[in-house]
């Protein structure tokens, strides 16, 4: 297996102007290194960032469609690991270029070295730049920042050093940190979701007829035929069972204390025909209560004199013909979360007056 490290630079924070990459074997021996210079046909506004080439060089270069086939084949090649740094940003530049020229966006799987470093240093929210990480890891190099092929080379040096420090292969290192993994599917970047409550909420929102998959994490391979349809979950149900057709919900604190065991109980109750109400703040049907007096659903029932049955998990389990102690925890499914488009990107999709577009001259 080969490793494909890549980086993209832009002329104005939006439009691609270079695509650089480094292709190596499993031992990090460089097979090929290249920087593709692209004419963005847009004014250059890079602020404090100094690009590697003068503007005249970009103006003499060809536009993105001329390099599209090469970039597409590089990203969709089999038997390789694609690795980048803050790769979702690079993808947005690539996506915008494909939309602009009405080209197909490649689907590919990737790994992010920025998230990997944050994971290994126990700083999950840290998003350090390439230069910072090379200094922290004491990597000596003569590579130039914001030169795409050199930045890709820096990513290679970082991953190589982390593998050496951890005494693991690249595949083992990224395999232990699922948060680094992501996929591009039909123009959307999906990253691994590791927060249990989000996984749980997304799973049941995906079953709901009013659920919106686009705003939550999505299971890796959702059943598209069953999306938005609860009926398929209740075909083989004993219609005489006391839970058949009844709604039930849990105290909010269950998600913090017994999430996956609760999930196991939900599966059993659904098989008996019960309908799980996950999103509603006002309880409908049975409330499975953990004794927390501050539970909003419990307070709503008491203050509004509602007749909702309030049961302990042990009592509700008996209604499901099982003991609470015997319920096994649900295995955590693999899930992916789509990265939301920024507001400026949504605005970028609006129709542009061709006359005004024609008046804009590239620098």
Rounded CA-CA distance 313/290 in Å is 7
Q: Is the pLDDT of residue 104 over 80?
A: yes
Q: pLDDT tens-digit profile of 306-359?
A: 788 899 999 999 999 999 988 887 776 555 556 544 434 444 444 444 444 444
Angle between helix 148-166 and helix 113-120 axes, rounded to 10 deg: 30
pLDDT at residue 203 in the model = 65
Mean pLDDT comparison of 178-182, 300-304, 323-327, highest-scoring range: 323-327
Rounded CA-CA distance 201/175 in Å is 25
pLDDT at residue 149 in the model = 96
Give me the residue label for tokens 């006391």.
Answer: 242
Query: Contact, 71 vs 51, CB < 8 A?
Result: no
Classify residue 311 by its DSSP letter: E
What pTM value is reported for the model? 0.61
Q: Is the pLDDT of residue 151 over 60?
A: yes
Mean pLDDT comparison of 92-101, 201-210, 267-276, 301-310, highest-scoring range: 92-101
Stretch 201-229: mean pLDDT, rounded? 41
**Bridge partners, 81 (sequence order):** 3
For residue 296, give the 3-state DSSP assignment. helix
pLDDT at residue 165 in the model = 94
pLDDT at residue 46 in the model = 86
The better pLDDT of the pair 121, 19 is held by 19
Classify residue 128 by its DSSP letter: -
Query: Contact, 280 vs 249, CB < 8 A?
Result: yes
Q: Is the pLDDT of residue 201 over 90?
A: no
What's the chain's average pLDDT?
A: 80
pLDDT at residue 346 in the model = 42
Stretch 227-256: mean pLDDT, rounded? 68
pLDDT at residue 306 in the model = 75
Rounded CA-CA distance 356/266 in Å is 57
Q: Is the pLDDT of residue 196 over 90?
A: no
Predicted confidence band of residue 257 (pLDDT cuts 50, 70, 90): confident
Query: Contact, 226 vs 263, CB < 8 A?
Result: no
Rounded CA-CA distance 62/294 in Å is 64
Least confident window among 167-181, 198-212, 243-257: 198-212
Q: Is the pLDDT of residue 239 over 70?
A: yes
Stretch 252-279: mean pLDDT, rounded? 83
Give me the residue label for tokens 């019960």.
Answer: 274
Classify residue 213 by its DSSP letter: G
Q: Two tokens at 200?
A: 């749980």
pLDDT at residue 338 in the model = 60
Q: Is the pLDDT of residue 198 over 80?
A: no
Q: Two tokens at 323?
A: 């003991």
Domains defined for the chain, CATH in brackets = 2-192 (3.30.420.10), 231-332 (3.40.50)
Which ranges constitute the DSSP H helices of the chain? 55-60, 68-75, 87-100, 113-120, 130-136, 148-166, 170-175, 196-207, 254-257, 259-271, 296-303, 313-319, 343-348, 354-359
Q: Is the pLDDT of residue 34 over 90?
A: yes
The better pLDDT of the pair 196, 270 is held by 270
Q: Is the pLDDT of residue 363 over 50?
A: no
Cα first-last separation, the chain: 42
Residue 68's region, left for phi above 0, alpha for psi from -120 to 50, else beta, is: alpha
Report DSSP letters for 78-89, one per residue: SSEEEEESSHHH
Query: Contact, 167 vs 192, CB < 8 A?
Result: no
Stretch 105-122: mean pLDDT, rounded? 90
Stretch 228-244: mean pLDDT, rounded? 59
Find all residues with CB under 8 Å of 260, minimum gap 6, and list them. Answer: 196, 329, 330, 331, 332
Find all residues with CB under 8 Å of 86, minimum gap 6, and list them. Answer: 112, 114, 127
């Amino acid at each position: 297996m080969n490793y494909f490290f890549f980086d993209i630079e832009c002329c104005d924070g939006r439009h691609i102007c270079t695509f650089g990459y480094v292709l190596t074997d499993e031992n990090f021996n460089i097979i090929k290194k290249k920087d593709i210079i692209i004419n963005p046909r847009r004014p250059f506004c890079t602020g404090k960032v100094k690009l590697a080439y003068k503007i005249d060089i970009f103006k003499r270069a060809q536009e993105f469609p001329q390099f599209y086939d090469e970039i597409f084949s590089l990203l969709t090649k089999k038997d390789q690991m694609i690795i980048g740094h803050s790769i979702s940003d690079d993808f947005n530049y690539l996506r915008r270029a494909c939309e602009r020229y009405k080209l197909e966006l490649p689907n590919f799987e990737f790994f992010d070295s920025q998230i990997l470093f944050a994971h290994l240093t126990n700083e999950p929210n840290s998003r350090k730049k390439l230069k910072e990480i090379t200094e922290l890891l004491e990597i000596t190099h003569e590579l130039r920042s914001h030169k795409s092929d050199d930045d890709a080379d820096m990513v290679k040096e970082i991953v190589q050093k982390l593998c050496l420090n951890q005494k693991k292969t690249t595949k083992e290192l990224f395999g232990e940190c699922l948060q680094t993994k992501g996929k591009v599917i039909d123009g959307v970047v999906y990253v691994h979701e590791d927060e249990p409550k989000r996984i749980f909420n997304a799973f049941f929102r995906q079953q709901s007829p009013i659920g919106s998959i686009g705003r939550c994490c999505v299971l890796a391979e959702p059943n598209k035929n069953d999306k938005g349809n609860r009926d398929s979950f209740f075909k083989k149900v004993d219609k005489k069972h006391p839970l058949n057709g009844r709604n039930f919900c849990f105290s909010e604190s269950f998600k913090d204390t017994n999430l996956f065991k609760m999930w196991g109980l939900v599966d059993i109750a659904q098989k008996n025909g019960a309908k799980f109400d996950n999103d509603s703040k006002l309880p409908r049907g049975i409330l499975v209560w953990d004794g927390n007096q501050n539970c909003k659903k419990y307070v709503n029932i008491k203050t509004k004199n509602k007749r909702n049955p309030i049961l302990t998990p042990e009592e509700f389990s008996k209604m499901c013909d099982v003991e609470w102690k015997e319920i096994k925890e649900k295995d955590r499914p693999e899930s992916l979360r789509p990265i939301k488009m920024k507001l400026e990107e949504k605005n970028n999709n609006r129709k542009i007056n061709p006359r005004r577009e024609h008046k804009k001259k590239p620098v």
